C-alpha cells in the first residue's frame, strides 16, 4: 500500500512536549515524519500539572527539525478560550492554516474521590474537558470555512470506571461525547472527529502509579504504537467520524455502546422493574448503538447568547 502522508497539512498537537516516552511527542514526530507541518504545544508542567516532571515543546521541535521536519513550538494553555485561540493563531501565523487537531494535552492526579482537592478537580476539568472544547472552538471556524478538518480527541478507558480516576474519567467521558456530537455537526463541512483511547507506557504512568504488574504491563506498550491510529484518523482518507478506537501494544479495536432488549410492560411500576431486573439487564440479545445519531435532526429554536 502506498504510504499515507500529510504533505501540505498543518497539524496542532497539544501536550506534545513530554519527555520520552510520551504520547503527544510520539504523535508530533509521527505526523512530521510524514510531511505535516506541526505546532508542538506544551506549557511545560508535565503530567501532574505541577512541574515535577517538566516538559519542553522546544525540545520536541528540535527533534523534528533535526530529522528534516517542519515544526514550531507553542507554550499556551488549552484551558481557556483566549489561550486556545492563541495556539490556533500560532498555526495560522507560522504555516497559514490548520487542518489537523490532536487534543492530547492532559494532567492527572489520581486519588479517591473524597480526597481530591477542589483545586485539583478544577485543574483536571479545565484541561481534560474544557481544553478540547476550547481548542475545537478555536479551530472550528477555520475548518468550517475550508470545508475540511480532522480532529482526534484523546479519551481514556478510565471513563468506564477505574478506582481513583473519578474526575479524570468524568472529563474523558465528556470528551468522548463531545466527539460524537461534533462528528454530526461537522459532517456537512468535511470535518471528521474521532476519539482514541490509548494504552501506552509513558512518564505519566510511572509518575502517577506505584509499581505493580499492571503498571509494568502498561510500560511494555510503546507510545509509538498508538500514533499509527492517531495518524489514520487524521488523514484525508479517514473513513469514519464519531468513533472511539482503543489502541495500544500493536492492537486496535472499535469501542461501541450497546443496549439490551430490555423489559417493557403496560404496567410499568417500580415493583415490576425489580421483578424483571434480570431480563432488563440480560445481554444475550445485545444491540449495538450507532456511532452517532446524525439521522436524528432536532428542530432547534433560535439561540440567543446569554
Which residues are tagged catalytic?
168
Find residue 291's DSSP bridge partners.
Answer: none
Q: How far apart are CA 122 and CA 173, in angstroms?
A: 16
Spatial contact of 76 and 107, defined as CB atoms under 8 Å apart: no
Q: How far apart are CA 37 and CA 205, in angstroms?
A: 29
Find residue 192's DSSP bridge partners.
Answer: 150
Q: How far apart are CA 103 and CA 115, in angstroms?
A: 28
Across the chain, which distance is largest between two alpha carbons, in Å?
71
Sign of torsion over alpha carbons 52, 58, 61, 63: negative
Q: How far apart are CA 10 and CA 94, in angstroms?
A: 10
Spatial contact of 65 and 118, defined as CB atoms under 8 Å apart: no
Spatial contact of 255 and 155, defined as CB atoms under 8 Å apart: no
> Could you tell me how many residues make up the chain?
306
Residue 86: count of CB within 10 angstroms of its CB: 17
Count Cα neighbours of 239 within 13 Å in the Cβ-side half-sphere. 0
* DSSP one-letter string for 270-288: HHHHHHTHHHHT--TT-EE
E-state strands within the chain: 10-13, 37-41, 70-74, 100-103, 149-154, 191-198, 244-248, 251-255, 258-259, 287-288
* DSSP conformation class of 127: I
Amino acid at each position: 500500500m502506498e504510504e499515507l502522508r500529510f504533505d501540505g497539512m498543518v497539524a496542532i498537537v497539544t501536550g506534545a512536549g513530554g519527555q520520552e516516552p510520551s504520547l503527544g511527542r510520539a504523535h508530533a514526530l509521527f505526523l512530521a515524519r510524514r510531511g505535516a507541518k506541526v505546532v508542538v504545544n506544551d506549557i511545560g508542567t508535565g503530567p501532574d500539572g505541577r512541574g515535577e516532571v517538566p516538559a519542553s515543546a522546544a525540545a520536541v521541535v528540535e527533534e523534528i527539525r533535526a530529522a528534516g521536519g517542519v515544526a514550531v513550538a507553542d507554550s499556551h494553555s488549552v484551558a481557556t478560550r483566549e489561550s486556545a485561540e492563541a495556539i490556533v493563531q500560532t498555526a495560522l501565523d507560522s504555516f497559514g492554516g490548520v487542518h489537523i487537531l490532536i487534543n492530547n494535552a492532559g494532567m492527572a492526579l489520581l486519588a479517591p474521590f473524597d480526597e481530591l482537592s477542589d483545586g485539583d478537580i478544577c485543574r483536571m476539568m479545565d484541561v481534560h474537558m474544557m481544553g478540547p472544547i476550547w481548542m475545537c472552538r478555536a479551530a472550528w471556524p477555520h475548518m468550517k470555512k475550508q470545508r475540511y478538518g480532522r480532529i482526534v480527541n484523546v479519551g481514556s478507558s478510565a471513563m468506564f470506571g477505574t478506582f481513583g480516576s473519578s474526575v479524570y474519567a468524568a472529563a474523558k467521558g465528556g470528551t468522548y461525547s463531545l466527539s460524537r456530537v461534533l462528528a454530526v455537526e461537522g459532517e456537512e463541512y468535511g470535518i471528521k472527529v474521532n476519539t482514541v483511547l490509548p494504552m501506552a507506557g509513558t512518564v505519566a504512568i510511572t509518575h502517577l502509579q506505584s509499581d505493580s504488574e499492571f503498571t509494568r504491563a502498561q510500560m511494555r506498550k510503546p507510545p509509538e504504537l498508538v500514533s499509527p491510529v492517531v495518524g489514520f484518523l487524521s488523514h484525508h482518507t479517514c473513513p469514519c467520524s464519531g468513533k472511539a478506537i482503543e489502541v495500544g501494544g500493536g492492537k486496535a479495536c472499535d469501542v461501541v455502546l450497546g443496549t439490551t432488549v430490555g423489559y417493557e410492560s403496560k404496567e410499568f411500576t417500580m415493583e415490576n422493574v425489580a421483578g424483571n431486573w434480570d431480563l432488563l439487564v440480560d445481554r444475550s440479545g445485545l444491540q449495538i448503538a450507532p456511532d452517532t445519531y446524525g439521522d436524528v435532526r432536532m428542530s432547534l429554536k433560535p439561540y440567543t447568547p446569554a
